[in-house]
Structure 1
Amino acid sequence: MAGNSDPLTPRAKLAVTAGKAVAAASRAAGRGSGSVIGGRVALKLDPDLLARLAQSLDVVLVSATNGKTTTTRLIAEALRAAGPVVSNALGANMPAGITSALAGNSDAKFGVIEVDEKYLAGVARDTDPKCIALLNLSRDQLDRAAETRMMAEAWREGLAGTKAVIVANCDDPLVVWAASSSPNVIWVAVGQMWKDDAWSCPSCGGVMQRPGDDWFCGECGFRRPTPSWALSGDHVLDPHGSAWPIHLQLPGRANKANAASSAAVAAVFGVPPQVALERMYQVQAVAGRYDVVQFMQRDLRLLLAKNPAGWLETFSLIDPPPSPVILSVNARGADGTDTSWLWDVDYTRLTGHPIFVLGDRKLDLAVRLEVANQHFQVCDSLDQAVQMCPPGRIEVIANYTAFQDLRRRVGN
């Protein structure tokens, strides 16, 4: 449907204008970007606004528990090779934030949209996407997110029969279950480090067999599909068997996996892997994640980890011991208030690192580290933790609102 000259009705234009005005007022008052409140006001004035704004775009939706924001950035960079892109690059990924982002750019050809897992089916209905990328599903925000099997079921029902091309991770059984109701799926093998949410079959509840990188249910025959794209070391293998080198400024295996999925999405829109992967090199940091900042004459690398799967991937990124590590955990609204997920994280991977603990729930984290036999010190502030750190670059790992607190403190 791309190319409509002006899909907006007078009411829609009024909604967009009002939303932008409210967002600007919110920014002026120092209350953040204003994108969410602006989007809410716009949708109140025109409940169909998201659908209207998406009409003139070729839309990609990206959903997952981990890696949504980074993958959205990588896909947006790749698709810029084929035309202007509008994206909710700052991660406001519910309908209000998405509406606000799309309202901000009227000449774009592509809309690359990160979507919160719970809202995927509804946003897909509104935006008529050409492609949907499904990366992974794992436990997250235990006080309010549906159990992972229920989330996979919601995706499966919501995407059944969709016209969109689904680009899905064949190594995550929950994602495969969700995507299997769709008629047009491109399977990508990008691995799955965290397996603790997929030991029972999402189809029948049987025990999942996991020999090597393969998986299957011995009871109902549900099994890993054959991928047409794959991450292989530092290369992406395309459906023709060609290997394309991945050059990223972002660290770690998880980001190579994100790049492989992004290359498969870009190919749906006619952007070849070589061009897509070269453009992804432009991405240095994503909303402050992976940034190395100077603070109190020290180099701090800021890493975001919001749930057990994210912490596991993040531990694989950090410098080897004895590099100091600062951990900060909050449990505010945006984080989820239940911190029992800390017990699912394997903190023995930090053995040998000097550890410093911060955040609203530093004592919850301290108890968990004590049980894991880690040596750590509890600190009252980032400044105190940095002063106590031995020499070397400091790895700072924080969950969502703790990460925002740290960015404010270091002026990032």
Structure 2
Amino acid sequence: MAGNTEPLSARSRLAVTAGKAAAAVSRAAGRGSGSVIGGKVALRLDPDLLQRLAQHLDVVLVSATNGKTTTTRLIAEALRANGEVVSNALGANMPAGITSALAGGSSARYGVIEVDEKYLAGVARDVTPKAIALLNLSRDQLDRAAETRMLAEKWREGLSGQKAVIVANADDPLVVWAASSSPNVVWVAAGQEWKDDAWSCPACGGVMQRPGDDWFCGECGFRRPTPSWALAGEHVLDPHGSAWPIHLQLPGRANRANAATSAAVAAAFGVAPQTALERMYAVKAVAGRYDVVGYEGRELRLLLAKNPAGWLETFSLIDSPPAPVILSVNARGADGTDTSWLWDVDYGRLAGHPICVIGDRKLDLAVRLEVAGVHFEVCEDAQDAVRRCPPGRIEVIANYTAFQDLRRAVGN
């Protein structure tokens, strides 16, 4: 556990107060939670505030392209078995948002923090984490994010010599290469459905061989490490070979993988797998993801998918036809303005479902569906789409800002 430290200085206390005031003004103006602007104001007044706020905490950092918000929530629930937790539960995962979150946790024992992939190394320097969970790396927001191999290299450099326990996905070659620079790694066989960003070796550029669930580079010998934790169907296997059942309210294989990684992180803090997994059952939605809401006399399940890897996992949650599906895609700043990723998604998997298309870039999506040979209707908005769908529950899949638009539209 983190040791006792000096109380915040007068400057730091002023920065925290000013940040909270800025956040309150933002909320009152209807501009969101205010966590980002509050953190920016606080850091402007005290650039070292993030480090000061974290000094009394045992910190866990969680980073990935997909699944970091959910995994952060699962780890936080598990660690609450041992003490109070502060977390950026709403997903504000850059330094300003993280600072705002930690400013509200003066009495907490643990800080469980989701971190944007590009900021991981810098945040790790500031908060001296006890553990870092690395889930996956895949292409996302191509207009503003680095290519995946470059991101992995930044992680590798930033984690070199890191004293934290690194809990990393043994099935993602990019994650393995990044984590291998650290002396203390716990490998988890969490799986990797999307493989199209890791066919070349991150170490030498050779072609990756993928027999079964294994992978290796035939040119330099870089290969999958032996995991000590593993997802095995509906169970987590711990380092002693014991199988612990996973009972989640969150659907799908990806969330079972998130739970396996979370159990490994919790174990590093002395929380037994059974206790950790039992506590995770309490999570039934994460920042609106997986919520089922009533709207226009129907039940809508809200699903977030931001990139090809995320869409692939989300399609696996949808039952066989004829369940109607609404798809919504935007291309605003937070989404990335490049929609070329639409062509990497296998929309043919939705064949047979009644499909309605909405969002700022609905025509881009319509062209993609037309080429895939999937029947669809282009609709004006969520209300129009719901009214055109046949009776029954509707699956709604949207990327980031489109998901927020939908939540507001349906009153979630």
TM over 0.5: yes
Q: Is the 8 A contact 1:171 1:189 kept in 2?
A: yes
2:337 match: 337
* CA distance in 1 between partners of 2:360 and 2:6 (Å): 48
Correspondence 1:150-299 to 2 at 5 A: 150-299=150-299
Q: Is the 8 A contact 1:7 1:55 kept in 2?
A: no
Q: Deviations over 1:98-148 (max 9, x none)?
A: 000000121000000000000000000000000000000000001011000
1:313 match: 313
Q: Deviations over 1:293-327 (max 9, x none)?
A: 00000000000000000000000001221100000
The one-letter code matched in structure 2 to 1:225 is P
* CA distance in 2 between partners of 1:341 and 1:19 (Å): 37
Unaligned runs of 5+ in 1: none
1:88 match: 88
The one-letter code matched in structure 2 to 1:155 is W
1:33 match: 33
SS at match of 1:188: strand
The one-letter code matched in structure 2 to 1:180 is S
SS at match of 1:174: helix
Q: Deviations over 1:205-246 (max 9, x none)?
A: 000000000000000000000000000000000000000000
Q: Is the 8 A contact 2:5 2:55 kept in 1?
A: no
2:111 match: 111
The one-letter code matched in structure 2 to 1:107 is S
Q: Is the 8 A contact 1:7 1:53 kept in 2?
A: no
Q: Deviations over 1:12-61 (max 9, x none)?
A: 01100000011011111111000000000000000000000000000000
* CA distance in 1 between partners of 2:289 and 2:128 (Å): 30
* CA distance in 2 between partners of 1:388 and 1:378 (Å): 10
2:386 match: 386
SS at match of 2:300: strand
2:376 match: 376
Q: Is the 8 A contact 2:206 2:219 kept in 1?
A: yes
Q: Is the 8 A contact 1:83 1:108 kept in 2?
A: yes
* CA distance in 1 between partners of 2:63 and 2:288 (Å): 20
| Deviation of the 1:74 alpha carbon | 0.1
* CA distance in 2 between partners of 1:190 and 1:72 (Å): 16
Q: Is the 8 A contact 1:7 1:56 kept in 2?
A: no
| Deviation of the 1:7 alpha carbon | 3.3
* CA distance in 1 between partners of 2:54 and 2:280 (Å): 24
* CA distance in 1 between partners of 2:113 and 2:166 (Å): 14
| Deviation of the 1:4 alpha carbon | 1.8
* CA distance in 2 between partners of 1:349 and 1:367 (Å): 16
SS at match of 1:392: coil
SS at match of 1:17: helix
TM-score by length of 1: 0.99
Percent identical pairs in the alignment equals 85
Number of residue equivalences: 412
The one-letter code matched in structure 1 to 2:246 is I
SS at match of 2:183: coil
* CA distance in 2 between partners of 1:5 and 1:152 (Å): 34
1:120 match: 120
Q: Is the 8 A contact 2:326 2:395 kept in 1?
A: yes
The one-letter code matched in structure 2 to 1:302 is L
The one-letter code matched in structure 1 to 2:269 is F
1:63 match: 63
1:348 match: 348
The one-letter code matched in structure 1 to 2:25 is A
* CA distance in 1 between partners of 2:7 and 2:308 (Å): 43
Q: Is the 8 A contact 2:86 2:108 kept in 1?
A: yes
SS at match of 1:14: helix
* CA distance in 2 between partners of 1:411 and 1:271 (Å): 37
Q: Is the 8 A contact 1:357 1:376 kept in 2?
A: yes
The one-letter code matched in structure 2 to 1:327 is L
Unaligned runs of 5+ in 2: none
SS at match of 1:71: helix
SS at match of 2:133: strand
RMSD: 0.7
| Deviation of the 1:6 alpha carbon | 4.4
2:411 match: 411
1:304 match: 304
* CA distance in 2 between partners of 1:30 and 1:234 (Å): 42
* CA distance in 2 between partners of 1:180 and 1:9 (Å): 38
* CA distance in 2 between partners of 1:374 and 1:29 (Å): 42
The one-letter code matched in structure 1 to 2:51 is A
| Deviation of the 1:5 alpha carbon | 5.2
| Deviation of the 1:3 alpha carbon | 3.9
The list of structure 1 runs, each at least 4 consecutive aligned residues, that deviate by more than 3 angstroms after superposition, is: none
The one-letter code matched in structure 2 to 1:258 is N
* CA distance in 2 between partners of 1:331 and 1:245 (Å): 40
The one-letter code matched in structure 1 to 2:386 is V
* CA distance in 2 between partners of 1:142 and 1:355 (Å): 27
